Amino acid sequence: MAAEPNGSCGDEDAAVRQVLGEERFRLVQGAKLLVVGAGGIGCELLKNLVLAGFRDIEVVDLDTIDISNLNRQFLFRRAHVDRSKAEVAAEAVRQFRPSARVVSHHGNVKDPQFGVEFVSRFDVVVNALDNLDARRHVNRLCLAAEKPLLEAGSTGHLGQVTVIKKGETECFECQAKPTQKVYPYCTIRSTPEKPIHCLVWAKNLYDLCFGPEDESNLLTDLAAEMKQFTSQEKVDGEEVGKKIYSHLFDADIRKQAALEDLWSEKRPPPDPLPFDEAVQRSSSSGAPPKGGAAVLDVQKVPSVAGDAQGFVAAVKAMYSDARRGLIGQSVFSKDDSVSMDFVHCAANLRMSNYRIDRLSRWDAQSIAGAIIPAVASTNAIVAGLEVVQLIHVLESTAHKKELRDGRCRTVWVRYPEPSRKKILQPSTLQPPNKECFVCGSRTARVALKGLSDWKMCDFVKKCVQGSFGAVSPALYHNGVCIYNPEYPEANEEAEEEGMHPEWSFTEWGLASGALLSVEDEAQGFSCNLLVRDEPELSDAEFPAGFNVEAGADSLEKAGEDKRQAEAAAEEPPAKRAATEGPVVALDD
């Protein structure tokens, strides 16, 4: 219950009390809330909650404040940079309403301390998260604890809010969410076609040259060569830069061009670009500015000479006294101007090699940094809608009504297209998907390429954790434990326990069609996995070597979804909104 339902200054709640009416106001004052995330939506949400009369709030966020947050996350100031978001946000909203109890937790919601038991202490959980992983985790915690969950997201002018409750509505995972695009290795390494391929290559190059050793780096085969050039003892950064340049944009390209199998009439071999030649190409090209507006430097595409010189200058900057110490530890960040310059110039030079239209610094930063569009006003709308939905949830719960029989809705915030007049589009909540592997039948299918050779630890890491979003899963087959999360690596202790994470499927006696069960105590989550061998799995489409089909009938369903998507194009906007996927890329 709230600390002081009728605090000293009753007047400040007069308006909200009038709008809500006594009954709802009492529900609001008595509710115990967990807010997950104190970023773009979180800041607005926390403000709205205390102003709406909520008195008992705990907030979890693992992040610290970054300069680029200050443009939206209005509870933070420059002086707060690097401090915990949860702590600063809680301090700030306590000032808005000193009578509110706002407790902050600076930590990852996936940590064991925030497990099912923790979640059970609250009446409702309100998400304000920016990533799929954490949202899936909180979804599972709330299903396990049988607590209602408010789920929200925003991207640019788009956003959505929905309500999830076990057995009553769709859960967050009832519909498949788009996953991050992974590019096939050979596209990155040998046959780039788009700027993004060159940017991914350049980011990997930066980390390879100046970051810690990382086996998963896509260019790891270049590591030995690069190490010769980039050791910390080198004195002359400019010389290092020119050497890397000649190796990558001239010599290596010549080698690639010589691999005749790769090239054809449709895909001609790349052109080497010797440094001396590059610095001659100083004419600046690029599209003329739109509408005659002034163009900023970061919007211009530099000349090839500018790219070549910029690349050498960026390497030189790495060897300045201020940065030299970072060599071997520095990883790419879009906000670190030296690493961004390096990546921009390197990617552009590679685009020159492959005759791809080069990018301005701004475009390179947007793509390489995966800058997700976000504005304060969309976050404010989304957070406001979350509070409205929250009040619906409290009312339904108080009247022991199922959420789908009450006033809760999924609400879409959509930037109006010319034919659309409504920014907010509500749609009714959907019943749970019976085939959902999280809240429904709990059986998912996984196609593995070369099933017999998969090691159990790799399968757990890449598929069960990476793709299914489990945190610390245990695997069973016919009731026998075949993977224990306490023993992720092969060692004596593991062996004493009969655990062999290094064993392959064959060594465990598993063949195509095996039914495994997954238990994740950290999430209160369990499901079945039907694994089968799929030797024909396309490398280009599934570079990780497996494909997850979430529901048992997903194959038939996929066809149906496609038909629906086609039909959707002519449906009115509100209906279309419902068939489109939710906004998954979110504001932090």
**Interaction with other proteins in 42-81: which residues (CB under 8 A)?**
47, 51, 67-68, 70-72, 74, 77-78
Answer positive or negative: Cα dihedral of 466, 468, 473, 478.
Answer: negative
Identity of the residue numbered 520: D
- Least CB distance from residue 412 to other proteins, whole Å? 11
Beta-carbon count within 10 A of 68 CB:
14
- Least CB distance from residue 104 to other proteins, whole Å? 18
Question: Which tokens hold the place of 257?
Answer: 């061009």
* Residue 558 touches other proteins, criterion: CB under 8 A: no
Stretch that binds other proteins, among 241-249, 409-417, 442-450, 528-536 (CB under 8 A): 409-417
Q: Which of residues 303-342 bind other proteins (CB under 8 A)?
A: 334-335
- Least CB distance from residue 383 to other proteins, whole Å? 11
Binding mask 264-293 for other proteins (x = CB under 8 A): --------------------------xx-x
What DSSP character marks residue 199? H
Q: Of residues 9, 43, 142, 186, which has the active-site annotation?
A: 186
* Residue 296 touches other proteins, criterion: CB under 8 A: yes
- Least CB distance from residue 42 to other proteins, whole Å? 15
Which of 1, 3, 14, 480 binds other proteins (CB under 8 A)? It is: 14
Stretch that binds other proteins, among 109-117, 122-130, 420-428, 443-451 (CB under 8 A): 420-428
Q: Which of residues 445-464 bind other proteins (CB under 8 A)?
A: none
Which of 20, 125, 150, 164 binds other proteins (CB under 8 A)? It is: 20
3-state secondary structure of 544: coil
Tell me how far apart the alpha carbons of residues 138 and 354 are, in angstroms, rounded to a whole number.
44
* CA distances, 464 to each of 159, 164, 195, 456 (Å): 29, 23, 32, 10
Do the beta carbons of residue 530 and residue 515 sit within 8 Å?
yes
* Residue 565 touches other proteins, criterion: CB under 8 A: no
Q: Is 102 or 518 the residue whose CB approaches other proteins more closely?
A: 102
Identity of the residue numbered 19: V
In sequence order, the β-bridge partners of residue 163 are 150
- Least CB distance from residue 15 to other proteins, whole Å? 5
Buried residues in 570-579 as b, exposed as e (16+ CB within 10 A): eeebeebbbe
Q: How many residues bind other proteins (CB under 8 A)?
A: 72
Helix (H) or strand (E) holding 549, with range, is strand 546-549
186 is catalytic: yes
Question: Could you please report the per-residue DSSP string of 231-280?
Answer: -TT---HHHHHHHHHIIIIIIHHHHHHH-GGG--SSSPPPPP--HHHHTT
Which of 388, 490, 494, 544 binds other proteins (CB under 8 A)? It is: 388
Backbone angles phi, psi at 157, to 5 degrees: -90, 0
Q: Is 16 or 584 the residue whose CB approaches other proteins more closely?
A: 16
Q: Is 70 or 331 the residue whose CB approaches other proteins more closely?
A: 70
Q: Is 316 or 409 the residue whose CB approaches other proteins more closely?
A: 409
Interacting residues of 555 by C-beta distance below 8 A, sequence separation 6+: 549
Which of 376, 494, 530, 584 binds other proteins (CB under 8 A)? It is: 376
* Residue 207 touches other proteins, criterion: CB under 8 A: no
Do the beta carbons of residue 69 and residue 588 sit within 8 Å?
yes
Tell me how far apart the alpha carbons of residues 359 and 323 are, in angstroms, rounded to a whole number.
26
Tell me how far apart the alpha carbons of residues 49 and 31 are, in angstroms, rounded to a whole number.
11
Q: Which of residues 505-524 bind other proteins (CB under 8 A)?
A: none
Which of 171, 385, 474, 550 binds other proteins (CB under 8 A)? It is: 385
Which of 255, 422, 434, 575 binds other proteins (CB under 8 A)? It is: 422
3-state secondary structure of 64: strand
Which of 143, 152, 411, 522 binds other proteins (CB under 8 A)? It is: 411
Which of 183, 263, 362, 542 binds other proteins (CB under 8 A)? It is: 362
* Residue 372 touches other proteins, criterion: CB under 8 A: yes
Do the beta carbons of residue 126 and residue 150 sit within 8 Å?
yes
Q: Is 49 or 144 the residue whose CB approaches other proteins more closely?
A: 49
- Least CB distance from residue 414 to other proteins, whole Å? 10
Which of 181, 266, 400, 421 binds other proteins (CB under 8 A)? It is: 421
Buried residues in 550-562 as b, exposed as e (16+ CB within 10 A): bbbebeebeeeee
Which of 415, 515, 556, 558 binds other proteins (CB under 8 A)? It is: 415
Buried residues in 391-403 as b, exposed as e (16+ CB within 10 A): bbbbbbbeeeeeb
Q: Is 408 or 451 the residue whose CB approaches other proteins more closely?
A: 408
Q: Is 377 or 506 the residue whose CB approaches other proteins more closely?
A: 377
Annotated catalytic residues are: 186
